[in-house]
Chains A and B, each alone.
Chain A
């Protein structure tokens, strides 16, 4: 009966409208809206801080070198800090999206799985060894740490069968181990206690152009690789046997994805230290708004991550003016209840 209905409804050879998966207007509209929010948040973060500027002063600070005061505040301090915030947010959010995709685990996140702490341990080790290390060396150390952390995760979690539970437990253990090592290292070095706090809690205090330039190549390369891996992540989501049957090299794909996670997380940690929960929250919002196709989830996670961290950094500067709270405290204040919500209701 179903046979006949289908045959009369759609004669062979005809292609109904909507042959491409899903209409494209909805993601486009959300993209434009998101970019508008990011632009507004960005402009606000250029205006507000210890010194409040008018929109006109921000504009002249961005475009003309004549207004020396505005130029200094906007171009030397707030604008690079804004770009840093966007890289940190996008990098962590895409890392989270990749990890949630590759582990098929909605609780995966570079912080929960210990990748952030591995980056942080490498960078803290370098800074303690040589406090004068240039920023590019710190970024490189973070990348080495991130790749090692991701590699350890792979070896522990994927020896034999894949298990989300096993991965999460391995990550929690790694996170605790690396985190303890960082604190021990910083405590025994006796110096930079103030900066250590900012590093451990995660924040953008004092981040500037050189942080951006050191992280940008890693971030750009990682983001491009993530976008290219999105289609394979879609295939992997069908299950290992289906994916392998479709010709996907599942182990190699997982390794590549984890390497990209290590690099993107490292780019973020090299700028802002240990910022948590951005990678957990943003991919969920992305899937809620544009569906489960990773070719959309990854770019939209980047967008939402950038928005979240720009806003969190703005909040960090405004809450106890003229002092600052570490920005990571604000992302944690948003992210921790969200994690509890996921655990309880999803």
Chain B
């Protein structure tokens, strides 16, 4: 199942924030959307999930316009996790996961065997079974993020869209969430995530779509997009790209003014710093 963004233009009121963007995400891909603040990446992701009506253009799910489809039918194959969802704090993890069955349920929301199986699978896939009966309010940020991903997985989606799933998490939980997304991708779920962290994007995705001022700036594999010149054009700061000693994958970091680095009396050779970017 593929998702095509076709000449999509999105606006907040009179302000156009995504200009005429086109690309196709094929089944099984793992894609990162990058860009500076205000470049329209979150709006683009919301538009791809029919949460933001287009000013012009379309989003196609296997060739069918997503806005013309029944919204619940879309939700059975396409799940979106907004950035830092605020609701549901009084629910247990399992109750939250059951909410993800909504698009599959009838008017009376009778729970079927399939609902139970899908929820257990989602809890298992996110390593949340041992948290299942704890309320969200009692969980750490990383555990809570896994619970929300479990809710999205309980939808049994073919495509999962996530808006900054690692924001507000410490480095350990960032890696944990990215590992989880990779495992889900290996199980055949197409993943598109808006990411802030360039190093995470470079290591865990196979394709990067970069936005600048609402326009598509680059679209390609990390090795092509995560280059100093390309990144400078997107983010507007001098960038340095190191090679991960373990994998050889690019680790981009911004290049600071050496005069403003108190611990470096002479411009020191840059070293990989976790969490930079």
Which A residues contact B (CB, under 8 angstroms)?
Answer: 2-3, 5-6, 9-10, 12, 14-16, 18-22, 104, 228, 231, 234-235, 237-239, 241-242, 244-249, 291-293, 295
Query: Which residue of A is nearest B142, CB measured?
Result: A2
A291 to B155, CA, bound (A): 24
Query: Which residue of A is nearest B152, CB measured?
Result: A245
Contact B87 A242 (CB under 8 A): yes
Query: A5, A10, A238, A247: which contacts B74 (Cβ < 8 A)?
Result: A247
Contact B103 A10 (CB under 8 A): no
B residues less than 8 Å from A247 (CB atoms):
70-76, 102-103
How many residues belonging to B are interface residues under a CB distance threshold of 8 Å?
A: 49
A140 to chain B, nearest CB (A): 28
Contact B87 A239 (CB under 8 A): yes
Contact B95 A246 (CB under 8 A): no
B123 to chain A, nearest CB (A): 9
- 1/0 per residue B78-96: CB within 8 Å of A? 0111100111101110111
B131 to chain A, nearest CB (A): 9
A185 to B51, CA, bound (A): 46
B residues less than 8 Å from A19 (CB atoms):
94, 116, 119-120
Contact B117 A246 (CB under 8 A): no
Contact B129 A6 (CB under 8 A): yes
Contact B94 A21 (CB under 8 A): yes
Known: A234-B99, A242-B81, A247-B102. 12 other contacts (CB 8 A): A6-B127, A6-B128, A9-B130, A19-B94, A104-B87, A228-B107, A231-B108, A245-B80, A247-B75, A248-B102, A291-B90, A292-B90
Q: Which of B87, B92, B151 has the most CB of A within 10 A?
A: B87
The 8 closest A-B pairs by CB, nearest first: A247-B75, A247-B72, A241-B82, A245-B80, A247-B103, A238-B87, A247-B71, A239-B87
Given contact pairs A2-B127, A6-B124, A239-B87, A244 touches B51 in the complex (Cβ within 8 A): yes
A248 to B74, CA, bound (A): 11
Contact A241 B85 (CB under 8 A): yes
B191 to chain A, nearest CB (A): 15
Contact B130 A5 (CB under 8 A): yes
A residues less than 8 Å from B105 (CB atoms):
231
A residues less than 8 Å from B51 (CB atoms):
241, 244-245
Contact A246 B99 (CB under 8 A): yes
A238 to B151, CA, bound (A): 11
A residues less than 8 Å from B76 (CB atoms):
247
Given contact pairs A6-B124, A10-B129, A238-B85, A292 touches B100 in the complex (Cβ within 8 A): no
A residues less than 8 Å from B70 (CB atoms):
247
B137 to chain A, nearest CB (A): 11
A152 to B13, CA, bound (A): 23
A117 to B71, CA, bound (A): 36
A residues less than 8 Å from B133 (CB atoms):
18
Offer 20 A-B interface pairs, CB within 8 angstroms, sorted by A. Answer: A2-B127, A2-B130, A6-B128, A6-B129, A6-B130, A9-B129, A9-B130, A14-B120, A19-B120, A20-B116, A21-B92, A228-B108, A234-B99, A238-B96, A239-B82, A241-B80, A244-B51, A244-B71, A246-B99, A247-B71
Query: A10, A18, A291, A292: which contacts B124 (Cβ < 8 A)?
Result: A10
Query: B46, B99, B116, B130: which contacts A235 (Cβ < 8 A)?
Result: B99
B197 to chain A, nearest CB (A): 22
B38 to chain A, nearest CB (A): 18
Query: Which residue of B is nearest A295, CB measured?
Result: B109
B146 to chain A, nearest CB (A): 9
Q: Which of A2, A20, A245 has the most CB of B within 10 A?
A: A245
A residues less than 8 Å from B74 (CB atoms):
247
Contact A15 B116 (CB under 8 A): yes
Query: Which residue of A is nearest B98, CB measured?
Result: A21
Contact B127 A3 (CB under 8 A): yes
B residues less than 8 Å from A239 (CB atoms):
82, 85-88
B residues less than 8 Å from A12 (CB atoms):
124
Cβ-based interface call for B30 (8 A): no
A248 to B105, CA, bound (A): 12
Contact B92 A245 (CB under 8 A): no
A244 to B71, CA, bound (A): 8
Query: B49, B88, B128, B129: which contacts A245 (Cβ < 8 A)?
Result: B49
A residues less than 8 Å from B75 (CB atoms):
245-247
A237 to B151, CA, bound (A): 14
Cβ-based interface call for B261 (8 A): no
B112 to chain A, nearest CB (A): 11
Contact B79 A245 (CB under 8 A): yes
Query: Which residue of A is nearest B50, CB measured?
Result: A244
A residues less than 8 Å from B46 (CB atoms):
241
Query: B82, B85, B109: which contacts A231 (Cβ < 8 A)?
Result: B109
A8 to chain B, nearest CB (A): 10
A residues less than 8 Å from B129 (CB atoms):
6, 9-10, 16
Cβ-based interface call for B1 (8 A): no
Contact B127 A242 (CB under 8 A): no
Query: Which residue of B is nearest A291, CB measured?
Result: B90
A9 to chain B, nearest CB (A): 6
A314 to chain B, nearest CB (A): 34
A residues less than 8 Å from B186 (CB atoms):
none
B43 to chain A, nearest CB (A): 12
A4 to chain B, nearest CB (A): 9
A198 to B129, CA, bound (A): 57
A124 to chain B, nearest CB (A): 38
Query: Which residue of A is nearest B92, CB measured?
Result: A21
B25 to chain A, nearest CB (A): 17
Query: Which residue of A is nearest B101, CB measured?
Result: A246
A245 to B107, CA, bound (A): 18
Cβ-based interface call for B16 (8 A): no
